[in-house]
Structure 1
């Protein structure tokens, strides 16, 4: 409901109104316009102008959208770790993941170095992967900046391991394109084998778990990624 552009357009009174609403959503959803005006010390005209800025015809429509937003958040169900890992084993380990991990391990074992990259939670696991592979004897680095300059000498006989839940992050796609043009082999670990990142990779390791969102955050389990990373590293060793 409140985008960056909309918030940036608020004046001082509207911003105070916004702050009050975000802290008291359940209360505001059942208030009359006069009650909200008294609570926030603004006029009803300011409230109506505020409603129009967030694409609501009036205060009644705004309250309907606010209630829908509250209901959606309450209905969010996050699976337990046991459910997530069971789903992964049932969907994935009955397929060709094992063969793909063998292929990935063979490709990596013949490489001089490994570059890990990812953004967000995938970036955190990419950093872990680089450390884990290095601990197992394969020199690896983690690069979190998609525009980081990689020396040409470093890219000789190199494998890049790309982590992405959706497989569609535009910055990561750009980075893969750069690495491919410079001769790197690409291994992607993603939840969707039909994604853009998967399609432009030499080897794709897809883990097929249900994507989960809480509000605007992707909270899809990363347990399968840990399993895949540690399995490949041990196969190399």
Structure 2
């Protein structure tokens, strides 16, 4: 699990709740229906059903810290290169590889696939993965834009109801609650949930794409029969100076 996501989300809501004295006063069903239900319907309207459901599935990536460390990937690729150089490509078949992208690449090496086909296939998968993650991020980014707008619509509805019933003091309170709470719900939904998820998905997509590019370069190096001793230096360009120093020390 990604502790940063969990701590940040729970901490944000915890601080909001600490500022509230009477929780019941901040719960209004019509306001929730307008903002939460209405924004979901609008997001679904702007997307296909498959894109919408896919974005919900991709959201789980923000709570699961499955992005491999580039340094660890380089160490594994160097180990694979050493095995391949010593025992041949077929010896890679029994190696345990957790990264699915690397596993596919190694399988193609074992099968003796042409280097051009390996690069083309892996490049296509890299692009496809980036596009899938980008679509998920765009869904939540759009949701973050729509939620405050739905809150403003709810505010206008509440104001119209309040002004239309000024002669009935009992109706002013509920109408004012709708007017104010919809704005608050929209702001919370956008800035505490949707936009952070979109930003995190974009960041994770970039990290995963960089890892996949690293794997492609390493696999092609192995395919070309390169010396494993220089492979870590060759792939070190994918690391920052601090990580590069740790890799060199290892």
Q: Give the TM bin, normalised by the shorter chain.
A: under 0.3
- Please identify which structure carries the higher helix content: 2
The structure with more radius of gyration: 2
- Please identify which structure carries the higher strand content: 1
Higher RCO (CA-CA < 8 Å; seq separation 6+): 2
What is the TM-score with the length of structure 1 in the denominator?
Answer: 0.25
